Structures are given as C-alpha cells and as structure tokens.
Amino acid sequence: MLTFEATHEIWRPTKGMVLGFGAAVLLPVLMVLNSGSSRYAIAIAAGVAVVVLFYTARFALNNRTWLLGLLVLEEVLPYANIIPYDPQARWMFRYPLLLALCVPTLPSTWRSGILWQGGFRMLMAFYLWGAVTVTYSLLPGISAGRLLPAVLLFAALSSVVFEVQNRDDVQLILGRFLCCCGLVMLMEVAAFIALPAELSWTHDEAAPPRFGGVFNTPNLLGQLMLATVASGLLYWPNAAGWRKLGATFAIVSSVVFAVMADSRSGFAAMAVGGLLWLLWRYRARGASAAAGLSLLAVMVFALASPSARVYISGRDTVTLTGRTEAWAFEVKAIAERPLVGYGYDVEGEIFQNRYFTSWQEFWNQGANSSLHNGYLAIAVGMGTPALLLWLFAVIRPFVYLFRNSFDPWNLRPVALLVVVPILLLGIDESPLDPLRYPKGLLLTLCWGLAERQRLLTIARKREAATIAESSSELLTAIASSNG
C-alpha cells in the first residue's frame, strides 16, 4: 500500500516540466488563433485536452491527497457560465475529467478490498440497488448517466480513505481541498471585477439580484461556503505563514460571496454545527457561550431594519418559496411507490405530473428540478428502504465515534463542523446522496474517514481480545501442568 508520504515523492514537477507543459499548451492556442479552419482548431484542442488529461491523471494517481480538491474543480468548472455552450450538454466537458481522475484509482481500490467492508459495503449495495432502479426509471438514460459518476467518485474517495494513516494525513487532505476551493474563490473575485452583470448576477422580478459569479446557480455559492468554512476552520489552527493567509482568504471570500448570493441555509446549518462544537469542546463554558451567542443573534434580529429582517428570515416564510407545496407532493409520490421509487436521481421528473399544483417555472425543469430536500429525494428516487439503508450507513460511524473515547484521527470536530451542517442542509437543499459539488464530496470523504477509523478500531480490539485470550489459555495450561 502506498502511503501519502511515498506517493507525494513519486512525481514532483520541476520548473522545466512546468515551462515545457505551459509551452505545449500555449503553442496550440496561438496556432488556433491564427487558423481559419474550425476543423483544425478542434483537432488542436482535442490534442491539448489529451495531454492535459494525461498529466492530470498521472498527478492525481501519484498524489492522492490532492484528489479531493481536484474532484471539486472537476465538479464545478465544466458548468461555469463563461463557457459558451448549452449547460445541459456540459457532460462532454465533465466526463473526460471525471474518468481521468477516477479510473486510474480503480485497480488499487479493488485490491484494497475496502469497498467490501462495513459501511462501504452497505453503500455499494445502495448503488447496486440504484442500478436496479435504472431498469424502471422515469428516465433510464439520465439515471444511468448519473449513477456511473457517483460510483466512480465513491470508489476514488474510498482509495483516498484507505491510504490515510494518521491525523496529519487528514489535515493534509483538508488543506489541499481548501486550496482548490480557494482557487474557485479567486475565480469568483475575477468574475465580480471583470464579468458583465448579465453573466455574474441572476435577476428575479420578485427579489433583488443574486450574485452567482461564474456559476448559473447562486445557491452553489452557499454550498461552497459551507464546505470552505468548515474545512478552513479545521485546517486553519495547524496552518502557518502564507498557508494561514490563504485559508483566511478562502474562508472570508466564501462568506462574502454567499451573502451576495442570498444563500441563507448554509449559514444556519453552519451556525448549528458551530454551537454543537462549542458545547462539545468547552462543556459548561461552551454552553454559556452558545447561549450568549444565541441571545445576541435574537437581539440583532430584533433591532435590525425591516429589510434586513426580510433578508435573514426569507421573503416567503409561509411556503418557504414554494417548498412546502413541493414537499407535500413529494410525500404523496413516496406513498404511491414507497418501496422502489421512480429511478435513481431523476426524482425531479415527478413534478411533470399534471396533478402537481405549482405552475412556477422553477419546478418545470424535469429531472433537473430540485426537490429541496435531500432525504425526500432519495426516498422518491429509490424508495424508503434505500433511504433507511443510506441513513444507517452514514450515521453509524459517527455514533460510534462519540460513544468511544478512541479518536486517533481527531474526527469529532470534523463530524460537528462538517457532517452535521451538511446533513442539516439536506433538509432544505438537494442532493445528499449524489456525489455532486464540494459539499457532497466533502461529506463522503469525512464519512469514509469515520467509517475507516471505526473498522480499524474494531479490528484492533478483536486482535487485543484474541491475544488476551491466548495468553489466558497459555497461563491456564502452564498452571495445570505445574499442578
């Protein structure tokens, strides 16, 4: 098994390699700019893409601690609104990156056997059932097209988890994940400065403009903020020098852009996780601090202007911007097919039913419509038993973590600052199961770390019990022979 320290030294790019690779990219670009042939331009672009994908795959394979961060870029960059291409057909940009990052990890993941252990085996059964649902899905092609990336991402992250040896490895992964989130924040800064408003802001007649930056969906900035702040808070105390400065930039900028995106759910989920961390870390003092902060929040809300109160609480507190109506319809859909669902990750298609009473265009995107509840989304798509299996597999390692004093990888803060907020966000947003976007990748990695630590702890306890039993039998045998 390759450790992080070993793999980090396998392939270290030199200045000459970087300059050579930059020239290899720049030369085709200059040729394309001076060429009037679109066919020639496409051929050159394809050649450059092959070279980039090769080096990306090689780097990710030899530097597993970067894989989570690179997967973040793979998940978000192909859907940037600065790409002049149909957003519904961006899979042609995403899939090559996905395959280049994930496929090389499959042999080592298979040899490790981690996918057939504990909760990993449960989630593999979950995805196997997802494959069964493809056969009767409302949109079989879309279900299959979304299931394959989820399985590949799960296997790739499992390979990262399998190689973790200690808490330093955990910090290294979080730091490099934060670095890639910081790159996305730099793109948002550039978008705020340079992009025209019609590209970087979304406009709704009934609400103020929302900043999306390079993304079409402002809510993505809220999810990115949660993942960035959570990983940043965990990494920041151990950072130094420019790394601490970079972590601070990533955290602050993500918060600012989430405010500009009018994404409140992430802040509420993060606040709950922070209060739980205070209670766990400082006990009575933490309870006092949590009570004081809660009282301060109430006072600020009471003294705020009416417009500020509307922003904090939301403009539609009765239907939660149509969510309550959609949730009621989703519950009825689950009651009609409680065991099997309607197909993996196409649950939004149920809103095409003529009995759905909302006529808002927001709900008329077919399989791309969000159910705005990750738990209901799993139940609608794959049935209630699949939801229960997923919940049991995900929650069990964290219950075990807090019931036992042994925590060599220091995962309790990870559970409170990362997992709890993301699971809470699943009540208001989708998705939870599909490994999409930074929060889904971070949740899966943190769960994998907790489950891996649980399995190793159980194995050590069994080994210790076996040794103790053998020693006892040996002492008994010696005593009987002396007698």
The tens digit of pLDDT for each residue in 179-220 reads 889 988 998 898 888 888 777 887 765 567 788 888 877 878
Residue count (the chain):
483
Confidence of residue 339 (pLDDT cuts 50, 70, 90): very high
- What's the rounded mean pLDDT across residues 242-252? 90
Confidence of residue 298 (pLDDT cuts 50, 70, 90): low
Which region, left, alpha or beta, applies to residue 118 given φ > 0 means left and ψ of -120 to 50 means alpha?
left
Task: Identify the pLDDT of residue 112.
Answer: 92
Confidence of residue 21 (pLDDT cuts 50, 70, 90): very low
Q: What percent of the chain has pLDDT over 70?
A: 80
Q: Is the pLDDT score of 318 beyond 70?
A: no
Is residue 369, in this structure, part of any structural domain at all? yes
Asked whether residue 331 falls in the same domain as residue 309, the answer is no
Contacts 24+ apart (CB under 8 A), 235-243: 235/171, 235/174, 235/175, 235/178, 238/171, 238/175, 239/175, 243/175
Asked whether residue 349 falls in the same domain as residue 438, the answer is yes
Is residue 395, in this structure, part of any structural domain at all? yes
Confidence of residue 15 (pLDDT cuts 50, 70, 90): very low
Task: Identify the pLDDT of residue 397.
Answer: 96
Residue pair 430/377 in contact (Cβ under 8 Å)? The answer is yes
HSE-CB at 390 with a 13 A cutoff on CA atoms is 23
Task: Identify the pLDDT of residue 131.
Answer: 96
* Closest CA relative to residue 2, chosen from 231, 180, 163, 215: 163
Residue pair 278/416 in contact (Cβ under 8 Å)? The answer is no
Asked whether residue 332 falls in the same domain as residue 430, the answer is yes
Asked whether residue 332 falls in the same domain as residue 461, the answer is yes
Asked whether residue 278 falls in the same domain as residue 147, the answer is no
Q: Is the pLDDT score of 116 beyond 90?
A: yes
Identity of the highest mean pLDDT range in 119-133, 250-264, 352-366? 119-133
The span from the CA of 388 to the CA of 397, in Å, is 15
HSE-CB at 220 with a 13 A cutoff on CA atoms is 22
Asked whether residue 307 falls in the same domain as residue 369, the answer is no
Residue pair 448/414 in contact (Cβ under 8 Å)? The answer is no
- What's the rounded mean pLDDT across residues 382-393? 95
Average per-residue pLDDT for the chain: 81
Asked whether residue 283 falls in the same domain as residue 375, the answer is no
Q: Which domain holds residue 296?
A: 266-313
Q: What percent of the chain has pLDDT over 90?
A: 33
Q: What is the tens place of the pLDDT at every residue in 230-246?
A: 999 999 888 888 888 88
Is residue 235, in this structure, part of any structural domain at all? no
Q: What is the tens place of the pLDDT at every residue in 281-292?
A: 887 777 777 778
- What's the rounded mean pLDDT across residues 422-445? 82
Confidence of residue 402 (pLDDT cuts 50, 70, 90): very high
Task: Identify the pLDDT of residue 1.
Answer: 39
Task: Identify the pLDDT of residue 435.
Answer: 73
Identity of the highest mean pLDDT range in 191-205, 383-397, 426-440? 383-397
Task: Identify the pLDDT of residue 287.
Answer: 75
Q: Is the pLDDT score of 17 beyond 90?
A: no
Classify the C-alpha dihedral 183-189-191-194 as positive or negative.
negative
Confidence of residue 411 (pLDDT cuts 50, 70, 90): very high
Q: What is the tens place of the pLDDT at every residue in 69-96?
A: 889 888 888 877 777 767 667 777 788 8
Asked whether residue 406 falls in the same domain as residue 455, the answer is yes
Q: Is the pLDDT score of 6 beyond 60?
A: no
The span from the CA of 123 to the CA of 433, in Å, is 10
The span from the CA of 75 to the CA of 184, in Å, is 11
The span from the CA of 96 to the CA of 287, in Å, is 49
Number of domains comprising the chain:
2
Asked whether residue 271 falls in the same domain as residue 385, the answer is no
Asked whether residue 344 falls in the same domain as residue 386, the answer is yes
Task: Identify the pLDDT of residue 80.
Answer: 79
